[in-house]
Amino acid sequence: MRKASALVLWLGLIELLGASQILVTRLQEPMLILMICSGIYFVLSFPIARLGGLLEKRWSPR
């Protein structure tokens, strides 16, 4: 399961950076766009990681 989630993490990051590269090319504001993309990535990944940790604790054998 962890290998699949790591793969999804990298694929999502590659897609987000690809979309940000298109915006950088159009708007010529690389720092602003990359900061916004990093914020979006954090907002999406942090709660999912916390939820995964809580579920892992709950479902682990005692």
pTM of the model: 0.71
pLDDT tens-place string over residues 24-62? 999 999 999 999 999 988 898 888 889 888 988 898 887
Phi/psi zone of residue 29: left (φ > 0), alpha (ψ -120 to 50 degrees), beta? beta
Domain layout of the chain by residue ranges: 2-59
* Cα–Cα distance, 6 to 47 (Å, whole number): 16
